[in-house]
Chain A
Amino acid sequence: MAASPSSAATERRGIPGAQFVEDVQTYLTQSGLDVSSALAFLQERLQQYKFVEMKLLAQQRDLQAKIPDIEKCLEIVATLEAKKNAGEALIADFEVSEGIYSRARVEDNDSVCLWLGANVMLEYSCEEATDLLQKNLQNAKASLEVLLTDLQFLRDQVTITQVTIARVYNWDVHQRRIRSTASASTDP
């Protein structure tokens, strides 16, 4: 059996849950709204949901770009470490300025410097750097998980609101039809 609508219509991270309407007639009388103001209210809600969805999608894109970046960092640190353990130097072409490359020989490197942001760069041993990057990677993945759950919740609210709009609209059309057939039969 499905959970009752009232228990599901809570909120998540400040996103209010959409109210499921059991019966349009009762909903309108209870909220004291006529059809057009009820529709206007629901449309506004829908717009708000869409706005939040856009924000969350932007965050999702950021995180999804960040994760491969961290993986790239881990890869180069691992390469440096492997080279050190093999007693070889890493020879690499690197960009000195846009489109200009020069050759570098990196040997006996026990450490790397990580740019921490806020104009701070810190020197780490390769092991420490790997640990830190791993932690960052896990954090980013965890945030992405949470974000995806938020998005799912939000999408449910969007769907509920869309369905409610369609139902209020259909109910109104139905009522009008009843009224017009009623008046047509009374005065032919």
Chain B
Amino acid sequence: MQQGAGSETVVTWEDQLNINRFSKLNNRFHEIEDDIKAEKERNENLEDASNELILTDEDVVRFQIGDVFAHVPREEVEDRIELMKEDTTKNLEKLEEEKESVLAQMSELKKVLYAKFKDSINLEED
């Protein structure tokens, strides 16, 4: 992350703390991105499942609970999937919110660090 032209800028402990914070935020940002992707996929799968349920004319469908496929009335499965979808949607909202806050904090730190170190520091990813 660090690249310098050999110029001398005094790095204080406070600067170091800011760099640490930035590094951790950047890491968290990538974790959030991965989580969002996984959660979106889950949501899509649930969406697919509920669409299939609309098409089927069976009254009892196999629904996986634990490791077995339980025979569950279709209405109940529909309700369960609805609940699961609500869950993932809520999770997604929370993740998006956190992503925004992480990004905001990162750009604040960028301002501070670039102001001090100019082009002696590189905080961008290629």
Contact = CB atoms under 8 A, between A and B. Distances in A.
Given A2-B14, A79-B70, A177 B1 contact: no
Interface centre among B1, B2, B10, B24 (most CB of A within 10 A): B2
Interface in A52-102: 72-73, 75-76, 79, 90-95, 101
Interface string B1-40: 1111111101111101101100110010000000000000
Contact of A92 (B1, B12, B69): B69
Nearest to A83: B70
Interface residues of B, number: 29
A2 B13 contact: yes
Interface stretch (A41-49, A117-125, A137-145, A160-168): A160-168
Chain A, interface size: which category?
35 or more
A156 interface: yes
A36 interface: no
Contact of B69 (A23, A101, A159, A167): A101
B67 interface: yes
A84 B88 CA distance: 29
A173 interface: yes
B24 A155 contact: yes
A2 B2 contact: no
Contact of B66 (A22, A23, A72): A72
Contact of A177 (B6, B12, B19, B20): B6
Interface centre among A4, A20, A170, A177 (most CB of B within 10 A): A170
A22 B12 CA distance: 7
Contact of B6 (A23, A72, A92, A174): A174
B68 interface: yes
Interface in B101-118: none
Contacts of B13: 2, 4-5, 20, 22
Interface centre among B14, B24, B62, B70 (most CB of A within 10 A): B70
A162 B66 CA distance: 46
Interface in A138-188: 152, 155-156, 158-160, 162-163, 165-167, 169-171, 173-174, 177
Given A22-B13, A76-B65, A163-B19, A91 B70 contact: yes
B71 interface: yes
B11 A162 contact: no
A159 to B, nearest CB: 4
A94 B69 contact: yes
A94 B16 CA distance: 56
B11 A167 contact: yes
Interface centre among B17, B66, B71 (most CB of A within 10 A): B66
Contact of B71 (A92, A166, A167): A92
Given A152-B24, A156-B20, 7 more contacts: A4-B13, A79-B66, A93-B69, A155-B20, A160-B20, A167-B11, A170-B5
